[in-house]
Structure 1
C-alpha cells in the first residue's frame, strides 16, 4: 500500500510505502497528483519517506513506476529520499541522470528537514 499525502500549500507530495508497491499504488498516486498538476502546472517536490525500500509486488508494478516517473519528472522541481535504506543514496546518484528534478537523500528521521529543503527554507 502507498500512502499519498498532498500538501497543496507547499506543493509537496509525500509518498509513504507500507509494503511492496503495486500497479494500483501508482494509479492511486496519479489520481491525486494529476488533478493538482492540471491546476498548478508543477509540484515543488516529492518526498519518498520509508525506513527501508519495500520493492515491487510484480514486474508490471515496476513498469508502472517507471511510466509514472517518465510522465511526471519534468513537472517536479525536487525529489527527496527520506530513508535509512542505502537505496536512498544510490537512488540519488542514479536518478539524477534520468530526471530533471534536484535530488537529495535524508535519513528517515529528517522528514521536516526534507520539507524545508524543498520549500527553500534551509536556515537550520
Structure 2
C-alpha cells in the first residue's frame, strides 16, 4: 500500500510505502496524481517517505513502479526522498541522471526540512 497526503492544497504530494508494493498501488497512486497534473500541468513537489520501504510484491510490481516513475517524473518539479537506508539515500544521486525533476535525499529526522525544501520557490 502507498499512503498519501497532499500538502499546500494539491501542490505537494507525500507518499509513504507500507509493506510490499503491488501493481494496484501504482494504479491507485496514478488515479490521485493524474487529475492534478491534468489540471495544473505539474506537481510542485513529491515527498517520498521511504522509511518503511519493503520492496515489491513481484517483478511485475517493480516494473509498474519504474513505469509510473517514467510516465510522471517530467510533471514533478522536485522530489525529496526521506530515508535512513544507505542504498535508498543513494538513489536520488543515480536518479538525477534519468529524470528531469530535482531530487534530494534527506535523513528521516529531517522530514520537516524536506517538506520545507519542496515548498521553496525556484
Give the TM-score of the pair, scaled to structure 2.
Answer: 0.92
Match of 1:64 in 2: 64
Q: How many residues align?
A: 121
- Alignment check: 8 A CA contact 1:81 1:105 kept: yes
Q: Which runs of 4+ in 1 moved over 3 A?
A: none
Tell me the secondary structure at the aligned position of residue 6 of structure 1. Answer: strand
Counterpart Cα distance in 2 of 1:21 and 1:100: 24
Counterpart Cα distance in 2 of 1:88 and 1:43: 22
Q: Where do 1:12-91 residues align within 5 Å?
A: 12-91=12-91
Q: Where do 1:1-16 residues align within 5 Å?
A: 1-9=1-9, 11-16=11-16
Q: Deviations over 1:93-112 (max 9, x none)?
A: 11011100111011112221
By how many angstroms is 1:50 displaced?
Answer: 2.5
Q: Which has the higher strand share?
A: 2
- Alignment check: 8 A CA contact 2:12 2:46 kept: yes
By how many angstroms is 1:7 displaced?
Answer: 2.6
Q: Which runs of 5+ in 2 are unaligned?
A: none
Counterpart Cα distance in 2 of 1:22 and 1:42: 25
Q: Which runs of 5+ in 1 are unaligned?
A: none
Counterpart Cα distance in 2 of 1:50 and 1:92: 12
- Greater CA deviation, 59-68 or 3-12? 3-12
Counterpart Cα distance in 2 of 1:16 and 1:93: 20
- Alignment check: 8 A CA contact 1:6 1:32 kept: no
Counterpart Cα distance in 2 of 1:38 and 1:21: 25
Provide the aligned C-alpha RMSD in A. 1.5
